Amino acid sequence: IPQHTFRGLVESMPRRMNRTGKRRVAVVGAGAAGLCAARHILSRAESFEPPVVFEQSARVGGTWYYEECVGTSDDGRPIHSSMYRDLRTNLPKEVMMFPDFPFDFHLPSFLTHWDVQQYLEAYCKSHDITPHIKFNTMVEEVKPISMETDEGGGVRWEVILCGMHRGHSTQIFDSVFICSGHYSAPHLPSIPGIEHFKGKVMHSHSYRCPEPFAHQSVVVLGAGASGVDISFELAQAKAQVILSHNKPSLPFSLPLEIKQAPPLVKVLDDGSLFFKDGSVAHPQVLLLCTGYNYHFPFLCLKQLGLEVQHHLVAPLYKYLVLPAFPSLFFIGVCKNICPFLHFHYQVQFALAVLDGAVQLPSRELMEDEAKRERQRKIQKGVQVNHLLQMDSEQWGYYESLATAARLPPPNPVIQSLYEEVGRQRRANPQTYREHKWLQSQMSCLTDQHMEEEV
């Protein structure tokens, strides 16, 4: 369908209703973002039909649904989660929770993946979301269709599905929320000569536990959250670890068992790894902790005018709305955020757009703003790869969504906790979760806030 077909239709679209007078929304994915979308759609029954959530696996939870197997499951489904067995959350539950659904009071602040999975299942149960989820159903294609003959005109969405036992089918929706996550498609850097490497090459997406690496030599590539965390796990399991990264220095000291190396340049003909300072290593395993790519195999990017690079999705107005198709919402594409809090505001802003409580600017103005935002960050020195990282800018962003959608802004205690935990983590990545002072800060800040609320 040529792009121009939609031009005149798009702007009137948020006001268009189907015959019941309610909008029909599809949600791709039943991870935390998809469940949050479903919960808020269900609570606006006057404007929306119950959502239809499509989930390729047999469970809710997404990233938090830990699966021991890697690659593909017994039923041939690609394993989505990159979760490893002994992970503990890097945010405390006080910061991680959806603002309207606290974690169990008895749990410690830093959780296991199992705790978070239980929490999401409880969220699902408490909001009666499960009956609205189509499990074992992969979304294969989401495409806009012109509805010129339909009363009011506008764009609707054809969602093509592949059910495990039911074959292909198609359903039509007024709006689609993309909640498919972005920690599943490994980013594999191109390493000259990698074909000469004689050991095992793997990505952290397929890392589950350290025992198989005991007494082996492992080069871990990348000192992001996973690279550092996994290096500690491996060293504790008596692997010989070299952590290769491109940071001038790490803001914390590593235990003696973990050596550091500068970036990997290439693999030599004899299979050894050659680092930037001229040193070489001959590990048994090269473990790529090099992050993940954005991946939307069910969207026709050209038709939508969407640019998806490894680490970029654009143009998105407010990191959420595709200006040319403002009934397609991308929930949670940003990084370095409080994910659940982020979903909470994005989802409610998107629903306010759909039910008309928030009026979007014209397509041109939204595109201009997305462009200006990109320029602003680039002028600040942000690399293209990091344009979707929010860090300290997330708080102003939530406030702006909250103001537009008439929601209470985030609790300032969350920001203080998040920042303090971040400082402690950067200084002591191995021990910050046990930090007594941090623990007392958390309970103190939480108590203080509770008193204020009372």
Which CB, 182 or 363, lies closer to ligand FAD? 182
Q: Report how far residue 83's alpha carbon sits from residue 31's, in angstroms, rounded to the nearest whole number.
A: 13
Which CB, 341 or 366, lies closer to ligand FAD? 341
Verify binding: residue 222, ligand FAD, rule CB under 6 A: no
Q: By three-state DSSP, how is residue 89 classified? A: coil
| Span interacting with ligand FAD, options 26-34, 279-287, 390-398, 441-449, rule CB under 6 A | 26-34
Considering the complex, what minimum distance in angstroms separates the CB of residue 161 from ligand FAD? 8
Verify binding: residue 348, ligand FAD, rule CB under 6 A: no
Which CB, 83 or 264, lies closer to ligand FAD? 83
Verify binding: residue 329, ligand FAD, rule CB under 6 A: no
Q: Which residues pair with 267 in a beta bridge?
A: 273
Which of residues 10, 13, 25, 33 is near ligand FAD by CB under 6 A?
A: 33
Q: Which residues pair with 281 in a beta bridge?
A: 273
Which CB, 139 or 228, lies closer to ligand FAD? 139
Considering the complex, what minimum distance in angstroms separates the CB of residue 177 from ligand FAD? 10
Site for ligand FAD in 250-309 (CB under 6 A): 298
Which CB, 197 or 319, lies closer to ligand FAD? 319
Verify binding: residue 183, ligand FAD, rule CB under 6 A: yes
Verify binding: residue 339, ligand FAD, rule CB under 6 A: yes
Q: How far is CA 413 from CA 100, 183, 319, 348, 421, in A?
A: 15, 28, 24, 21, 12
Site for ligand FAD in 123-182 (CB under 6 A): 138-139, 179-181
Considering the complex, what minimum distance in angstroms separates the CB of residue 368 from ligand FAD? 28
Which of residues 89, 109, 175, 394 is near ligand FAD by CB under 6 A?
A: 89
Which CB, 61 or 326, lies closer to ligand FAD? 61
Which CB, 198 or 423, lies closer to ligand FAD? 423
CA angle 67, 308, 2 (to 5 degrees): 120
Verify binding: residue 319, ligand FAD, rule CB under 6 A: no
Site for ligand FAD in 66-85 (CB under 6 A): 80, 82-83
Verify binding: residue 92, ligand FAD, rule CB under 6 A: no
Verify binding: residue 221, ligand FAD, rule CB under 6 A: no
Which of residues 79, 96, 97, 219 is near ligand FAD by CB under 6 A?
A: 96
Q: How many residues bind ligand FAD (CB under 6 A)?
A: 32
Verify binding: residue 64, ligand FAD, rule CB under 6 A: yes
Considering the complex, what minimum distance in angstroms separates the CB of residue 439 from ligand FAD? 17
Which CB, 87 or 221, lies closer to ligand FAD? 87
Considering the complex, what minimum distance in angstroms separates the CB of residue 219 from ligand FAD? 20
Considering the complex, what minimum distance in angstroms separates the CB of residue 96 from ligand FAD? 5
Q: Which residues pair with 266 in a beta bridge?
A: 274
Verify binding: residue 30, ligand FAD, rule CB under 6 A: yes
Q: Report how far residue 252's alpha carbon sits from residue 426's, in angstroms, rounded to the nearest whole number.
A: 7
| Span interacting with ligand FAD, options 58-66, 311-319, 383-391, 431-439, rule CB under 6 A | 58-66
Other C-beta atoms lying within 10 Å of the C-beta of residue 131: 6
Binding site for ligand FAD (CB under 6 A): 28-34, 54-57, 62-64, 80, 82-83, 87, 89-91, 96, 138-139, 179-181, 183, 226, 298, 332, 339
